[in-house]
Amino acid sequence: MATTPTENRGTWNTKFGFILAAAGSAVGLGNIWRFPTEAASNGGAAFLIIYIICVTLIGLPVMIAELSIGRSTQKNPVGAFKALSTNKFFPLVGFWGVLCGVMILSFYTIIAGWTFSHVFVEIFTFAGWHSAAELLADSENGWINAIFAMLFMGLTIVIIRGGVSEGIERATKLMMPLLVFILVIMTLYVVFQPGAAEGLEVYLKPDFSMITGELVLAALGQAFFSLSLGMGALITYGSYLSKKENIVEAASFVTLADVGIAFLAGLLIMPTIFLAQAQGVEIYDETGNFLAGPALIFQILPELFSQMGGFLGLTIGISFFFLLSLAALTSTISLLEVPTSYIIDEHGVRRKKAALYVGLTVLALSIIISFNTGLIGDIDYIFSVIGLPLGGLLICIFIGYFWKTRSAVDEMKNGFKDIRDSWFTTVWSVFIKFICPIIIVIILAQTIFG
């Protein structure tokens, strides 16, 4: 028997739980492997400074906008646009966000499985079972990809089936502090190793001569993607937020957490890369740039851990890939919650069934991609690189010119009574109506046309 949506939507128990869950959505593999090498290749701390400015001036206003839409309607992205506008186009914007979440999750689950499989690669390498380690490390092995994608999706489904407070909030309250703890401990170990200073200098020493339009666009892109904007995750998470909470304050804490973890990841990754170079591991590609992404995580660093040898190499290797697995899981949770919330709200399906149906559907896509990993780049480009900024742009247009910024500000008054009398109202409205859309269009144009 179907239920009404309000029976199984749920709410966050605490603002702290929401902040950890939303930060978990934002903190993903991109924070760990993309941000540090982006910074190192683009002027070190100069990139970091531009990135923080972009997160504050572009990412934060759009995040506040999404949370306002979600809490105002207490619905999923599709239902939210239906509730706020009679224009039939905007529910399609919500559906685009749901679709982006599904398609991103379909390949992200595979990459997340790679991170988890490498925990066992480290163990098998230490035990001398090199054939088994090589088998698990082969990212082109469709069966291995599918098996670990199943494991990761299974865990994600279990958490989503538990509900908002007892599933998502409880899990992220455990995982996010653990993630930060492991990150801090590993960083403290690495930065005091001989040879780490060179990596710290590359990462932290600003080279302002490298600040160009291209660098600013790179920082803007990283800021936008790192905050999970444009795919409806924050609309969905905002829909579970109590009316007594201050949206602006909550969004600021989420942004701060995302930036802080990205910064810490840089303190870990860049010295580690140079430690690897000291061990004779190649860290540059043929163009002279740092190897990034999967090449960094699944080739360079495992070789370093192997050369460390003994129990130390095993401990560092397992800790690192467990850290990555936690970061990936906090993101897959939010990615699955978006379409699950849509099924609950729009079709009246109970949460446990909705999570299972959506999870298995996405898993079927993941298994297909597992045997055709070349599809990952195309799907990522369409639904992440293009899809998320496009979603963010349309959200800004909707709030600025259809729902109107004054309506969003009225929603923000819940928990922030004096907002209409503050400077924030005017500044935020200008950014949502003019500055954010213009900059997002520039990002999209640069991405599409080069």
CB 153 within 8 A of CB 361: no
* 431: pLDDT strictly greater than 90: yes
State the Cα–Cα distance between residues 368 and 373, nearest whole angstrom: 9
Backbone conformation region of residue 160, classed left if phi is above 0, alpha if psi is from -120 to 50, else beta: alpha
d(CA 391, CA 304) in angstroms, rounded, equals 40
Please give the model's pTM, rounded to 2 decimal places: 0.93
Distances (CA, A) of 201 to 3, 28, 301, 422: 58, 25, 20, 41
Q: What spatial distance separates the first Cα and last Cα of the chain, rounded to whole Å?
A: 52
Considering only CA atoms, give the Rg of the chain: 21
Here the tokens at position 345 are: 């709200």
Copy the structure tokens of residue 97: 């966000």
Which band of pLDDT confidence, cut at 50, 70 and 90, is reported for residue 180? very high
Instruction: Supply angle C-alpha 193, 197, 202, rounded to 5.
Output: 135
What is the average per-residue pLDDT within 175-200?
91
Question: Which tokens is 166 given?
Answer: 């007892």
> What does the pLDDT look like over 34-79, one tens digit per residue?
788 788 778 888 888 999 998 998 899 999 999 999 999 999 999 9
Q: What is the pLDDT of residues 94-125, one digit of tens each?
A: 999 999 999 999 999 999 999 999 999 999 99
Look up tokens 């890939």; give the residue. Answer: 321
Q: Tell me what the mean pLDDT of segment 317-329 comes to.
A: 93
For 328-360, what is each residue's pLDDT tens digit? 999 999 999 999 999 999 999 999 999 999 999
Collect all residues with Cβ–Cβ distance below 8 Å to 215 and sequence separation of at least 6: 42, 43, 46, 47, 50
pLDDT band at 29 (very low <50, low <70, confident <90, very high): confident
Mean pLDDT of 233-250: 94
Maximum Cα–Cα distance across the chain: 67
Is the pLDDT score of 216 beyond 90?
Answer: no
Residue type, 438: I
3-state secondary structure of 267: helix
